[in-house]
Amino acid sequence: MTHLRCKGLGLILGLAASVWAAEPDFGPNVLVFKPSLSAAAIQEQINKVYAIQQNNQFGPARNALLFAPGEYKVDVPIGYYTQVLGLGASPDNVHITGNVHSDATLPNNNATCTFWKSAEGFSVTPANGSMQWAVSQAAPFRRMHIRGDIVLHQKGGWASGGWMSDDLIDGNVGSGPQQQWIARNTEWGGWTGSNWNMVFVGDVNAPEGEWPKPAYSKVAKAPVVREKPFLQVDAVGKYSVQVPSVRMNSSGITWHGGQTPGNSIPIDKFYIARADKDTTATMNAELAKGKNLLLTPGIYNLTDTIKVTKANTVVLGLGFATLEADNGVTAMTTADADGIVIAGLFFDAGPVSSPVMLEVGPSGSKARHAANPITLSDDFFRVGGAAVGKAAVNLRINSNDTILDHTWIWRADHGQNQSVGWTVNTSANGLVVNGNDVTVYGLFVEHTQQYQVLWNGNGGRVYFYQSEVPYDPPDQPSYTSAPGTNGWASYKVADNVTSHEAWGLGIYSVFRRPNVVLTRAIEAPNNPNVKFHDMITVCLANNGAIENVINDTGGATTPNHIAQAPRVTKFP
């Protein structure tokens, strides 16, 4: 593990200590900026981080850039594995005048591989009136106030995003060529653009028009949601983590009154973990004592399972803190207990196959948590890419009433170190849901080798689904789920399920070998209480096809005929 130690960091922390004597030890990969520092000094440190992270798609560096309340005039480019976080109770407590931007990393302004970065909890006055946020998957944009416009692409280049929630954009959101997007509980002056699958849940001033042209799926209120916890600091330098309250049937942002309503947990109730010092044993010991867990940026090599056993425990990662599951272990499990929050973590499979990387509640969980649900926010999963990885299941949810708020589960389709191949980075399922009444916003699952999503519980709700089926089946016999059924449906609702509902589903194929097809993108019981709204399939390559959208409905994709992509508005 290589830790970033920027020149001048000691000066920054020394200046901070003269004002805030009780600065927590966040380790070498967290930079805390305060308005007392010169813009030049802050800019120097930002630039050094970006120089490492700009093209660091599979590198080991992890960073968090934290801005204390105040005014700043800087340029903030955000690279891979970088979280930029405002420390105010309200996003308006931290104000950056200048460019905060995510840039495309491929030629021709292509942002389809622009992953693993975030902007959270501050306000921006863009230097030219418009902020550029060209991103694809796993790029949280939360609790932001943009005092101008924002575009979700770079100069009209392709992108495959994305996510925003609890944001206020004073001007217009220009989605441009974004393939798909979900906006939850967000407000804006206007929204322009659509492509394949744009989903709006609990938004104020959602754009006019209805699926399929334009491709807008609109749900007026988010039925149940808890915003992601966030680190904050007050005027005398006391840190805490704000855990937002659960909201029912909500629309718009949480922070119109300033502070997001919820419970503030002092930082001394957290164990602050560091990848260069901590092991599974040290973290489990603190969790067992009743501490919450704050994981600072880094790669944590786990040879045992982190066990979250107590109700209302908060596990919060900064800077894409990465849990690598070594020796075939399960990286993390939770009890079937009220109010557990797991947020901001990056789960990376190791070379020995794990049965599951994150398991929420043990098998057979029965408790109900509707009043105080378990919540997962901005938790991301990767199998292969940086190194050989294997996991049978990435995320399994056994607990009832769980909320999953934004995830990207990715079996890598490209990478380094010979880490990608049909028999190299193996993974059967992305998400398996066994609990009842599980609610998911922003579900991105890609390339696993059997069902990307397997839903066994009743009462499930999904708002937005994006999936590419695996690129690399070597032949049809290797990709056959049953006699007469080619491949595995991307989204499978089990035959015994009696109630389920999903809105806005886009499923795409990019088969690299000829003569490989998928019989259907979605499989579900023929039951009037199993409902789907607004579905599309697209074939993005010269090979293969998806023969139906859902069950035997929708018709087939054909290679390179994107404009004729099959669309189904309602099923059954």
- Which residues have a Cβ under 8 Å from the Cβ of 367 and sit 6 or more positions away? 336, 337, 338, 399, 400
pLDDT, residue 8, reads 40
User: Where is 412: in which H helix or E strand?
Assistant: none
- Buried/exposed 444-480: b ≥16 CB within 10 Å, e otherwise: bbbbbbbbbbbbbbbbbbbbbbbbbbbbbbeeeeebb
Contacts 24+ apart (CB under 8 A), 15-23: 19/237, 20/233, 20/236, 20/237, 21/237, 22/237, 22/238, 23/237
Burial class (CB in 10 A: 0-12, 13-18, 19+), 351: middle
pLDDT, residue 541, reads 85
CB atoms within 10 A of CB 43: 17
The answer to whether 318 touches 83, Cβ cutoff 8 Å, is yes
Share of the chain above pLDDT 70, in %: 96
pLDDT, residue 17, reads 42
More confident residue, 161 or 488: 488
User: Where is 493: in which H helix or E strand?
Assistant: strand 491-493
pLDDT, residue 147, reads 98
The one-letter amino acid code at 132 reads Q
**At residue 528, does pLDDT exceed 50?**
yes
DSSP state of 449: S
pLDDT, residue 20, reads 52
501 has catalytic annotation: no
Q: State the SS3 of 144-198.
A: CEECCEEECCCCCCCECCCEEECCEEEEEEECCCECEEEEECCEEEEEECCCCEE
Mean pLDDT value across the chain: 95
pLDDT, residue 7, reads 35
Confidence of residue 2 (pLDDT cuts 50, 70, 90): very low
Residue with tokens 């397997």: 454
Share of the chain above pLDDT 90, in %: 93
User: Where is 44: in which H helix or E strand?
Assistant: helix 39-53
In the chain, where are the structural domains located? 9-226, 297-571
Structural tokens at position 274: 């560091």
> Do 9-226 and 297-571 have matching folds?
yes
Provide the whole-model pTM: 0.95
pLDDT, residue 559, reads 82
**At residue 430, does pLDDT exceed 60?**
yes
Q: pLDDT digits over 131-181, tens only?
A: 999 999 999 999 999 999 999 999 999 999 899 999 999 999 999 999 999
**At residue 312, does pLDDT exceed 90?**
yes
Residue 523 CA to residue 247 CA, distance in Å, equals: 32
Q: pLDDT digits over 11-68, tens only?
A: 334 444 445 547 899 999 999 999 999 999 999 999 999 999 999 999 999 999 999 9
Provide the β-strand partners of residue 284. Answer: none
In this structure, which CATH number among 3.40.50.720, 2.160.20.10, 2.40.50.140, 2.40.10.10 belongs to the domain 9-226?
2.160.20.10
Structural tokens at position 300: 């944590």
As a whole number, mean pLDDT of residues 110-118 equals 98
**At residue 201, does pLDDT exceed 50?**
yes
- Buried/exposed 526-552: b ≥16 CB within 10 Å, e otherwise: eeeebbbbbbbbbbbeebbbbbbbbbe
pLDDT, residue 244, reads 98
Residue 292 CA to residue 271 CA, distance in Å, equals: 6
Burial class (CB in 10 A: 0-12, 13-18, 19+), 235: exposed
Given this structure, which CATH class describes domain 297-571? mainly beta
| CA-wise closest residue to 72 among 108, 96, 104, 43 | 96
**At residue 197, does pLDDT exceed 90?**
yes
Given the residues 120, 187, 359, 468, the one annotated as active site: 468
